[in-house]
Amino acid sequence: MVEWIISEGLTDYDEAVAFMEDRVAGIAAGEAEECVWLLEHPPLYTAGTSARREDLLTPDRFPVYRTRRGGQFTYHGPGQRVVYVMLNVGRRGHDVRRFVQQLERWVIAALAEFNVTGHIREGRVGVWVERPDKPPTATGGLREDKIAAIGIRLRKWVSFHGISINVDPDLEHFSGIVPCGITEHGVTSLVDLGLPVTMADLDVALRRQFDAIFAEAKDGA
């Protein structure tokens, strides 16, 4: 069984990490259920294991949290759905690459419920949408904006951290970092794309698509 938690209001980042640490230990020990936690954070930046100092453009703007998840700098804040996934990857095939691909497919399937086509791009972590309505990039390519970030960590084959999907955050807040180290493309949200999607709407889509993506047989099942 997977427990689903939806937190109202804004959740302190340190409190969230402490919860995940405790829950992951319980899952690894066979003493707690897997968990998907949906929440929002107050405005903050997080730095993954690949974060470069020069990509933090305004270090005094919001709190900066160093984290041992994969990836570079990301922004979290109100209007962004953060999805922390505490799942036993060991029981789900011992395949980290496949697990990340499942997370990507999950986001893309949820976005598709709102007629948004998400894309995965080689060398660019996260989920992207094409923006033919915007001017081309400096190199003449099609402009693409990031709508979801992915960054996980494993301990004893149990995952934590996870994904964030932009519903209606203040996109200007992303200007304090180089999101994921990528300068050629921007960020967007469901509302920025002209879709009146609420956090509750996205939660329903995520819950509906979860089983379809993660219901593959587990080891030993």
Residue 181: predicted pLDDT: 54
The predicted pLDDT at position 219 comes to 45
How confident is the model at residue 216, as a pLDDT? 56
* SS3 of residue 141 by DSSP: coil
How far apart, in whole angstroms, are the C-alpha atoms of residue 134 and residue 116? 16
Q: Is 151 annotated as a binding residue?
A: yes
Q: What is the pLDDT along the chain (221 residues), one digit of tens a residue?
A: 899 999 999 999 999 999 999 999 999 999 999 999 999 999 999 988 888 888 899 989 999 999 878 778 889 999 999 999 999 999 998 999 999 999 999 999 999 999 999 999 987 888 999 999 988 888 888 999 999 999 999 999 999 999 999 999 999 999 998 865 566 678 999 999 999 999 999 999 999 999 999 875 454 44
Alpha carbon of 124 to those of 127, 160, 212: distances in Å? 8, 21, 25
pLDDT the model gives residue 68: 78
pLDDT of 138? 81
Distance CA(62)–CA(75), nearest Å, equals 9
**In angstroms, what CA-CA distances link 6 with 11, 76, 144, 154?**
11, 17, 30, 22
Q: Is 152 known to sit in a ligand binding site?
A: no
Scored b (16 or more CB within 10 A) or e, 10-37 reads ebebeebbebbeebbeebbeeebebbbb
Q: Which amino acid is it at 80?
A: Q
Is 41 annotated as a binding-site member? no
Q: Where are the beta strands (DSSP E) in 41-106?
A: 44-47, 64-66, 73-76, 80-86
Handedness of CA 119, 8, 12, 1 (dihedral sign): negative
* 214 annotated as a binding-site residue: no
pLDDT score recorded for residue 141: 87
Domain spanning 3-216 has what CATH number? 3.30.930.10
- 73 labelled binding-site residue: yes
Residues 89, 99 contacting (CB under 8 angstroms): yes
Catalytic annotation, pick one of 38, 51, 86, 180 = 180
Packing angle of the helix pair 199-214, 96-112 (nearest 10 deg): 140
Integer angstrom CA distances of residue 217 from 210, 211, 220: 14, 11, 8
Q: Is 180 a catalytic residue?
A: yes
Q: Are 34 and 2 in contact (CB under 8 A)?
A: yes
Neighbours of 195 (CB within 10 A): 15
